[in-house]
């Protein structure tokens, strides 16, 4: 089931080899990568491997018919936003109503009018692209351009699941701007906004490619560091802490900005923990950094407790 990753993937689910050949021939000039599945079970496996931009679904299939498969697709949160164009020789209104009630985007009857099918496929692909753009914007913090809290929650849950499955290291850092209220009160909210925007850019530059940087809320940021144990996470956080302390600020050049960082990390042996437990552990470290005088990094190894501090 190889496909061109530079083109939108369209998954054709139909038990007819003749239909596979027909659509592969007639859609070859469309800017898509067509992948075929000959049964519902094969389609389910394909959906675990790929995330198609659109699905072309035949209703009349043995074992798992199209209605049952459509229900599976729309009940799964990872696939329910994928547009589904039903392909069917059934022209009765009851079948169309049932398909639309289950979440179908469109309904095309056999034999195909290829010009019509192409037009409907393009419309479905445009819909998918718009949904992706909306989803991406919904995950972005408007001020800093980093992932927002919703994005953070989603990525942390995914990373924790994978980390526990393969017993890999993981670190979570919570970063807080010291005395941020004083900046807003003394120099105004535009100065505070500048601090958050500059810090966001610095986080992106100083973090590694696989790290996930987000604005957690207010003046607090979060970094998810997959494959990184607590000791290495401390080095990353110290580099960021020093870089922030060295920044010059146009709106208040005489006033430096510092951050405190709390880290929760594991070398892969901490056992199952929820996202809430990870956040609470990192928050405790952040509180310890604030309580110890700010402008420092405190790291808790979830396998054993380790404190690290800036010089």
- Residue 237 to residue 260: CA distance in whole angstroms: 9
Contacts 24+ apart (CB under 8 A), 304-307: 306/230, 306/231
Q: Per-block average pLDDT, block size 10, for the chain (311 residues)?
A: 72 95 94 94 89 94 91 88 92 90 94 93 93 80 92 93 89 97 92 94 91 95 96 96 93 92 93 91 97 96 60 38
Residue limits of CATH 3.30.70.270 in the chain = 149-301
| Start-to-end CA span in the chain (Å) | 54
CATH architecture of the domain with range 149-301 = 2-Layer Sandwich (3.30)
CB 290 within 8 A of CB 265: no
Residue limits of CATH 3.40.50.2300 in the chain = 9-137
- Residue 34 to residue 47: CA distance in whole angstroms: 13
Contacts of 105 (CB under 8 A, 6+ apart): 83, 84, 85, 124, 127
Contacts of 76 (CB under 8 A, 6+ apart): 47
* Tokens 């972005």 sit on residue: 140
Residues labelled catalytic: 219
CB 273 within 8 A of CB 294: no
The residues pairing with 217 across neighbouring beta strands, listed in sequence order, are: 220
CB-count exposure of residue 28 (10 Å: 0-12, 13-18, 19+): exposed
- Residue 216 to residue 148: CA distance in whole angstroms: 6
pLDDT at 310: 43
Give phi and psi for 10, each to the nearest 5. -115, 125
Beta strands across the sheet bearing 106-109: 33-37, 9-13, 54-58, 84-88, 106-109
The CATH H-level (homologous superfamily) assignment of domain 9-137 is: Response regulator (3.40.50.2300)
Tell me the two tokens of residue 84: 């589904």
pLDDT at 3: 54
CB 262 within 8 A of CB 240: no
């Amino acid at each position: 089931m190889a496909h061109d990753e530079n083109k939108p993937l369209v998954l054709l689910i139909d038990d007819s080899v003749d239909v596979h050949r027909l659509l592969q021939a007639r859609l070859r000039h469309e800017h898509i990568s067509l992948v075929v599945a000959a049964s519902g079970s094969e389609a389910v496996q394909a959906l675990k491997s790929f995330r198609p931009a659109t699905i072309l679904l035949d209703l009349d299939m043995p074992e798992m018919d199209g209605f049952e498969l459509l229900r599976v697709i729309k009940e799964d949160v990872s696939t329910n936003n994928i547009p589904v164009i039903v392909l069917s020789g059934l022209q009765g209104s009851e079948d169309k109503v049932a398909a639309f009630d289950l979440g179908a985007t469109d309904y095309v009857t056999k034999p195909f009018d290829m010009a019509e099918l192409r037009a409907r496929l393009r419309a479905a692909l445009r819909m998918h692209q718009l949904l992706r753009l909306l989803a991406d914007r919904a995950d972005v913090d408007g001020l800093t351009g980093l992932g927002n809290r919703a994005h953070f929650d989603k990525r942390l849950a995914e990373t924790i699941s994978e980390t526990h499955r393969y017993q890999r290291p993981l670190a979570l850092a919570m970063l807080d701007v010291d005395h941020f209220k004083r900046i807003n009160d003394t120099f105004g909210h535009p100065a505070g906004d500048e601090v958050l925007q500059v810090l966001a850019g610095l986080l992106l530059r100083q973090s590694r490619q696989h790290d996930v940087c987000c604005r957690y809320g207010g003046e607090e940021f979060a970094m998810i560091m997959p494959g990184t144990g607590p000791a290495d996470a401390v080095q990353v956080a110290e580099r960021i802490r020093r870089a922030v302390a060295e920044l010059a600020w146009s709106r208040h050049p005489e006033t430096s900005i510092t951050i405190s960082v709390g880290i929760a990390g594991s070398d892969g042996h901490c056992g199952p923990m929820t996202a809430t437990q990870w956040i609470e552990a990192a928050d405790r470290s952040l509180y310890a950094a604030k309580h110890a005088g700010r402008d420092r990094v405190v790291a808790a190894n979830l396998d054993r407790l380790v404190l690290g501090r800036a010089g």
